[in-house]
């Protein structure tokens, strides 16, 4: 039985070159979906189509989505940059570009469409920054969003944390609007995952801090373990799931909430 309902569905995966995006695209291919990929680097997967695109360029995003055209049943926003990249580039790719892709795909979606984006446990502090984040996510255009970032460089900081917090709040805000059209939007909050990007995190983050985020399971996730929840969220099995920021972290946030995770390594960083 096609429990997840992907057979012959037309889907887009942004960030399909490596890591979680590649694992997601591969899983969707195995489920019988027609997969169209977007990324800065070419993929080795045999997709229905692949378009090379730079999410820092809104015109390139628009052209890439227009080139796919047709009906789109599901969108997977998996592209991202680490905190080793310039902060404004991180904001462009992780938030502004991701949102631009989504807004360009939405006219191609009808009732039953679904969107899933990758945030991070690095965005877990979103609820403490709601006034700032609401100000950011209420900027409607790519250009206004980036102007806000340029005007608030101290808030942007390294870019990674704010971009992941923004994805969460934008997902929640958009979910209440899109569901009126029968379209769902959710996001995941992965814990540390063994992808090519992990080398960048290791170069900028103390091992004790990274190890804090793998409690209580005490190992990193695989890309495949992140792909499964993304695919579920956009599936026919999750039609009443909307506006969710789903932790995929081996129990980290649950452990934090119940005082079972040692956060002492985060204190100097804070």
> How many alpha carbons fall within 13 Å on the CB side of residue 175?
20
Can you give the pTM of this predicted structure?
0.96
- Which residue in 121, 119, 126 sits closest to 213, CA to CA? 121
CA distance 152 to 48: 41
Domains within the chain, CATH numbers bracketed: 10-191+223-249 (3.40.50.720)
Q: Give the DSSP letter of residue 192.
A: S
pLDDT at 269 over 80: no
- The number of helix segments (H) and strand segments (E) in the chain equals 13, 7
pLDDT tens digit string along 111-148?
999 999 999 999 999 999 999 999 999 999 999 999 99
Confidence band of 205 (pLDDT split at 50, 70, 90): confident
- Band (pLDDT 50/70/90 cuts) for residue 2 is confident
How many angstroms separate the CA atoms of 186 and 116, rounded?
5
Please determine, for residue 268, whether its predicted confidence score (pLDDT) is greater than 90. no
Average pLDDT of the chain to the nearest whole number: 96
Burial class (CB in 10 A: 0-12, 13-18, 19+), 267: exposed
Query: With pLDDT > 90 as the criterion, what percentage of the chain qualifies?
Result: 91
Q: How many CB atoms sit inside 10 A of residue 87's CB? A: 18
Supply the pLDDT for residue 36: 98
Q: What percentage of the chain reaches a pLDDT higher than 70?
A: 99
Arithmetic mean of pLDDT, 14-29: 97
Predicted local confidence at residue 28, as pLDDT: 98
Sequential DSSP letters for 102-120:
HHHHGGG--TT-EEEEE--
19 contacts 193 by C-beta, under 8 angstroms: yes
pLDDT tens per residue across span 150-168? 999 999 999 999 999 999 9
Radius of gyration of the chain (CA): 18
Between the two ends of the chain, the Cα-to-Cα distance in Å is 49
- Contact yes or no for 55/113 (Cβ under 8 A): no
User: pLDDT tens for residues 91-112?
Assistant: 999 999 999 999 999 999 999 9
pLDDT at 204: 76
Q: How far is CA 206 from CA 10, 202, 250, 269, in A?
A: 41, 7, 20, 9
Which burial class, exposed, middle or buried, applies to 128 when counting CB atoms under 10 A from its CB (0-12, 13-18, 19+)? exposed
> Is 270 a residue whose pLDDT tops 80?
no
Alpha helices in 31-159 (DSSP H): 58-68, 87-91, 98-105, 130-137, 142-151, 153-156
d(CA 161, CA 157): 8
Exposed, middle or buried, 259 (CB in 10 Å: 0-12/13-18/19+)? exposed
Query: How does pLDDT run across 24-49, given as a tens digit for each residue?
Result: 999 999 999 999 999 999 999 999 99
Amino acid 52: pLDDT: 97
The predicted-structure confidence for 68-88, as pLDDT tens digits, reads as follows 999 999 999 999 999 999 999
Residue 1 has pLDDT above 80, yes or no: no
Per the CB < 8 A criterion, the answer to whether 79 and 121 are in contact is no
């Amino acid at each position: 039985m096609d429990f997840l309902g992907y057979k012959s569905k037309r889907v887009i995966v942004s960030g399909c070159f490596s890591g979680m995006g590649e694992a997601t695209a591969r899983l969707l291919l195995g489920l019988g979906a027609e997969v169209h990929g977007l990324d800065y680097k070419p993929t080795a997967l045999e997709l229905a189509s692949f378009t090379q695109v730079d999410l820092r360029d809104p015109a390139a995003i628009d052209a890439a989505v227009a080139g796919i055209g047709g009906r789109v049943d599901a969108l997977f926003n998996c592209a991202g940059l680490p905190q080793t990249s310039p902060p404004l580039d991180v904001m462009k790719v992780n938030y502004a570009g991701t949102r631009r892709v989504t807004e360009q795909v939405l006219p191609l979606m009808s009732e039953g469409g679904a969107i899933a984006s990758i945030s991070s446990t690095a965005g877990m502090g979103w609820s403490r920054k709601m006034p700032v984040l609401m100000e950011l996510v209420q900027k409607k255009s790519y250009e206004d969003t980036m102007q806000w970032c340029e005007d608030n460089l101290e808030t942007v900081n390294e870019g990674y944390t704010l971009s992941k917090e923004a994805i969460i709040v934008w997902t929640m805000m958009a979910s209440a609007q899109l569901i009126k059209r029968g379209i769902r939007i959710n996001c995941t909050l992965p814990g540390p995952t063994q992808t090519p990007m992990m080398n960048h995190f290791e170069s900028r983050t103390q091992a004790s801090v990274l190890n804090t985020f793998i409690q209580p399971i005490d190992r990193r996730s695989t890309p495949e373990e992140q792909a499964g929840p993304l695919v579920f969220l956009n599936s026919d099995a999750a039609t009443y799931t909307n506006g969710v920021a789903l932790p995929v972290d081996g129990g980290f946030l649950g452990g934090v909430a119940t005082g079972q995770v040692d956060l002492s390594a985060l204190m100097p960083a804070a």
